């Protein structure tokens, strides 16, 4: 392999690593947002459960408040809570996959040039599996298993 090919492989791996670092930060931000949504849904559920069943409850829609039965609001908050949990679980798997691949790439970047192409192949091979795992976990969670 020529020096030019090694350099190109090195720059490609380095670019992917920078791209993956950005995606990792994005996933971390999404996780933080979902944790906040989950906490709000939980706290709202706790407050709703304390109310008697005949209490008038209102749902905020923009600047308007609409009268809704308590049971509808409870169901909505429970669904938000479950959806947030599923999203957090999927994001955790995605983040775990990213964290596993990052040290691998960092390690290979400091190896002789012949291994750079191997690192690129490994990363290209493993990334679809991470997405498949996330999809499978989302499906399982949606089915209630």
Instruction: Write out pLDDT tens, residues 19-57.
Output: 777 877 888 888 899 999 999 999 999 999 999 998 999
Please give the Cα distance from 31 to 89 (Å, whole number): 9
Residues 118-126: contacts with CB under 8 Å, at least 24 apart? 119/13, 120/9, 120/12, 120/13, 120/16, 123/13, 123/16, 126/97, 126/101
Verdict on whether the full-model pTM lies above 0.85: no
pLDDT in tens, 65-122: 999 999 999 999 999 999 998 888 888 877 777 666 656 555 555 555 545 555 555 5
């Amino acid at each position: 392999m020529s020096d030019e090919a090694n350099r190109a492989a090195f720059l490609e791996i380095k670019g992917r690593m920078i791209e993956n670092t950005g995606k990792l930060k994005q996933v971390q931000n999404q996780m933080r947002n979902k944790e906040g949504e989950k906490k709000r849904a939980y706290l709202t559920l706790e407050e709703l459960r304390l109310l008697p069943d005949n209490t008038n409850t209102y749902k905020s829609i923009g600047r308007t408040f609409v009268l809704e039965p308590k049971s509808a609001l409870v169901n909505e908050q429970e669904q938000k809570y479950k959806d947030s949990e599923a999203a957090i679980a999927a994001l955790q798997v995605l983040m775990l996959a990213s964290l596993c691949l990052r040290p691998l790439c960092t390690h290979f970047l400091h190896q002789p040039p012949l291994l750079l192409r191997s690192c690129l192949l490994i990363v290209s091979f493993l990334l679809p599996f991470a997405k498949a795992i996330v999809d499978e976990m989302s499906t399982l969670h949606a089915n209630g298993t």
